[in-house]
Amino acid sequence: MLTRRQVGMLVALTLVWGANWPVMKFSLREITPLWFRALTMSAGALVLMAWFVSRRVDMRLPRHEVGRVAWLALPNIIGWHFFSIIGLQELASGRAAILGFTMPVWTVLLGVLLLGQRMTARTWTAAVLATAAVGLLSASELAALAGRPSGVLWMQLAAISWAAGTLLMRRTATSLPTEAVTVWMMVIGALFFWVVAPLAEPAPALGRLGSGVWVALAYVAFVNFGYAQVIWFSMARDLPPTASAFSIMAVPAVGTAFGMLIVGERPTLADWAAALCIVLAIAAALLPRRAPAR
């Protein structure tokens, strides 16, 4: 049974994650995606590093662990954040959130394809529902006069990358605390974006950014990368799997709703139907089976 404090923190976490999508979309009006990632991920990594050091977590990265952490960072940080920000640039933020959170379904399917896990009725249900959601939004993008169906592909690449990273994390043994692994993956990811951004995009004129964009950048860096991660780590060891699953399930719908408030998006019936499909797909993939009554 969750305490009142845990419920409050879980709700806050879901709201932060959901609002993050339209906030990022708002930022992309004035700053290019790779520079956006470089700036916010660097700041977020520094905030987390300072917080965990203050909590006396051992954040040292031994030389023999560098390659292992870099390998984990490739799908979990670089792949997910690269593909998702490119996809978000081309899609409405609500649609990007819905498509990004096909990740739990992809995690199950990759486990079946690569690790020989069994395909159950729940797995089939999750796959069909996720496919329906992607199909609904793809058809909508193709039908729209200014639709960008390539954004759907980018977001699916992001979700697959995140899913592959999740499986890799489960199967990779490391002596580092989870907090240290996360922060050092973010540091490696930030270095990647600092190298790639100048090669692919013009440097941003930071002095010309509006105050709203600075607020959005601060939100992503300090609230999404910082505060939300601290909440998650403080709860992850005590949260039952059902609670974390419900939190993930709510993000696509929350992102769609916040998209209306922050960037003025107008979700269609297809958007809400796709969001419902993803919520049900995540439930099928993540919620534990009810124990048989004695």
Cβ-proximal residues to 237 (8 Å cutoff; 6+ apart), any chain: none
Which one, of 269, 260, 276, lies nearest residue 101 by Cα? 276
Residue with tokens 């990273």: 165
Distance between CA 251 and CA 88 in Å, rounded? Answer: 15
Instruction: Match 């700041």 to its residue by tokens.
Output: 43
Token code pair at residue 51? 């917080």
Note the Cα 151 to chain centre separation in Å. 16
Give 116's DSSP letter.
-
Residues contacting residue 27 through CB under 8 Å, at least 6 positions apart:
36, 213, 216, 217, 220
pLDDT at 123: 82
pTM of the model: 0.89
Whose tokens are 């390539």? That residue is 150
Tokens 């929350």 — which residue? 254
Is there a contact between 247 and 269 (Cβ–Cβ < 8 Å)? no
Q: pLDDT tens for the chain, 294 residues: list them.
A: 667 877 788 888 889 999 999 999 999 999 999 999 999 999 999 999 999 999 999 999 999 999 999 999 999 999 999 999 999 999 999 999 999 988 888 888 888 888 887 888 888 888 888 889 899 888 888 876 567 888 999 999 999 999 899 889 888 888 899 899 999 999 999 999 999 999 999 999 999 999 999 999 999 999 999 888 877 766 655 666 556 666 677 888 899 999 999 999 999 999 999 999 988 888 887 676 665 555
pLDDT for 58-108, tens place per residue? Answer: 999 999 999 999 999 999 999 999 999 999 999 999 999 999 988 888 888
126-154 pLDDT, tens digit each: 888 888 989 988 888 887 656 788 899 99
Q: Domain-by-domain residue ranges, the chain?
A: 4-286
pLDDT (0 to 100) of residue 64: 93
Q: Which residues of 99-118 are buried (b: 16+ CB within 10 A; e: fewer)?
A: bbbbbbbbbbbbbeeeeeee
pLDDT of residue 292: 56
Residue 287 corresponds to which tokens in the numbers above?
A: 């919620």
Distance of CA 65 to the CA centre of its chain: 25
* SS3 state at 91: coil
- What span, in angstroms and rounded, lies between the C-alpha atoms of 242 and 247? 9
